[in-house]
Structure 1
Amino acid sequence: MSTTQSDRLRGLLEPLVAAKGLDLEEIELSKAGRRRMLRIVVDSDEGVELDACAELSREVSDALDASDVMGEDEYVLEVSSPGADRPLSEHRHYVRAIGRLVKFQLSAEGEKGAGELVARILGVDDEGMDLEVPGVKGRKATARRVAFTDIAKARVEIEFNRKDKKEEEA
């Protein structure tokens, strides 16, 4: 996708997405056979429900049809929320992952050097986050602080036996 088209799409879509109280996470335009595929990923602090994606999809479709951003060629529009395996890259992604188990790839420049770390996010501030590293073989969990600058990659781990926040509040 050309920078100009990308900028024009973002300029058209961001106000529509923001009006729904959502964050525009990603815009991807790719070839799908003879057609093009326009994939829009949105999220919010509370997550995104299917009905919200469907409603936004209709509004985005109308806005695209009324503009010349996509040109004359056919395209398929997909509006979705990020999957569970989405990389954490923005500050808001880490805030939304508080309480979740995350796999971190730490950079060599970090305080304790490169490596992999699996830990639960307890809190996030502007510089980094406080983590709880699960104990191994009956040992107690330990606390650890990681700066954002020390993180090369991060991704939420899927937990099948994790208690949901709603269950914990009940």
Structure 2
Amino acid sequence: MQQTGLSELLGSVLASHELELDAVEVAPAGRRRVVRVIVDGDGPGGHGPDLDQIAEATRAISLALDESDVMGEQPYTLEVSSRGVSRPLARPAHYRRNIGRLVALTLVDGGQTTGRITASDDDTVSIESGGNTEVHRLDQVKRAVIQVEMNRRGAPDADTTADEDDDFLDPESGDDDFGPGDTERG
């Protein structure tokens, strides 16, 4: 396998789909190899590629690899995905595509801050934290990772008791009001 040739081929195919090659990894998996291709791009909303773009790019990559000798004779499995939220932000475009999201920054001087990305350009990122806006030079950011925010909307109110939410029916007694120590039978 030719790593340079693989990266060039993938970059060319992805560019025709308005995507960028973020990373490629080839790992052994028994008698096969797994080719993991991580893609990025602005996508239709400017915040990264959508599933349709990735699906189209996957088909094109598969076809290009089949027509090329860059992978050699050993069989492989192709996996194509977007960057996801777990990969650190590394380029100015990564910050721009995540405007509005919560990010944790570790700075070169050891400082840390968490806040919402409000703006970004080629040299700086603006973070709103606690009503204040901090501007950080990207070359002073050691690590930046998007924080996953769990939406608790739709969770039961704290005042709701288990009896109000239980829809269990005791098939033997017809009693749907299970109490402590009761078990479901069946």
TM-score interval (norm. to shorter) = 0.7 to 0.9
What runs of 5+ residues in structure 1 fail to find an aligned partner? 109-113, 135-140, 163-170
Equivalence for 1:6: 3
CA deviation after TM superposition for structure 1 residue 115, in Å: 2.1
Structure 1 position 8, deviation (Å): 0.4
Corresponding position of 1:153: 143
Residue identity matched to 1:133: S
2:33 to 18, 32, 36: 36
Contact 2:65-2:71 at 8 Å conserved across structures: yes
Deviations 1:36-85 (A, max 9, x none): 10011112223223232222222111111111100000100011111221
1:125 corresponding residue in structure 2: 121
Larger Rg: 2
Q: Measured at CA, do residues 49 and 145 of structure 1 come closer, stay the same or move farther in structure 2, by a change above 3 Å? A: closer
CA 1:66–1:95 in 2, change beyond 3 Å: closer, same or farther?
same
Q: Alignment partner of 1:122: what SS?
A: strand
After superposition, what is the alpha-carbon deviation per residue over 1:19-40, rounded to whole angstroms, capped at 9, x for unaligned?
1111111111111122110011
Q: Could you tell me how far apart the structure 2 residues matched to 1:91 and 1:98 are?
A: 11
Change (3 A) 1:49 1:130: closer
66-75 or 40-49, larger mean C-alpha shift: 40-49
Name the CA distance, whole Å, in 2 between partners of 1:126 and 1:52. Answer: 25
TM-score by length of 2: 0.74
Contact 2:32 2:75 in 1 (8 A): yes
- Measure how far apart 1:107 and its partner are: 1.1
Any runs of at least 4 consecutive aligned residues in structure 1 with deviations exceeding 4 A, and if so which? none
1:118, 1:104 → 2: CA distance? 6
- Distance in 2 between residues matched to 1:130 and 1:57, nearest whole Å: 34
> Taking CA–CA contacts closer than 8 Å with sequence separation of 6 or more, which of the two structures ends up with the larger relative contact order?
1
Q: Is the 8 A contact 2:126 2:133 kept in 1?
A: yes
CA apart distance, 1:92:
0.4
- The 5 Å alignment of 1:27-66 reads 27-46=24-43, 47-66=48-67
TM-score (norm 1): 0.81
Cα distance, 1:87 vs. partner? 0.7
Amino acid at match of 1:61: S
Q: Distance in 2 between matches of 1:98 and 1:53?
A: 21
> How many positions carry a matched residue from both structures?
148
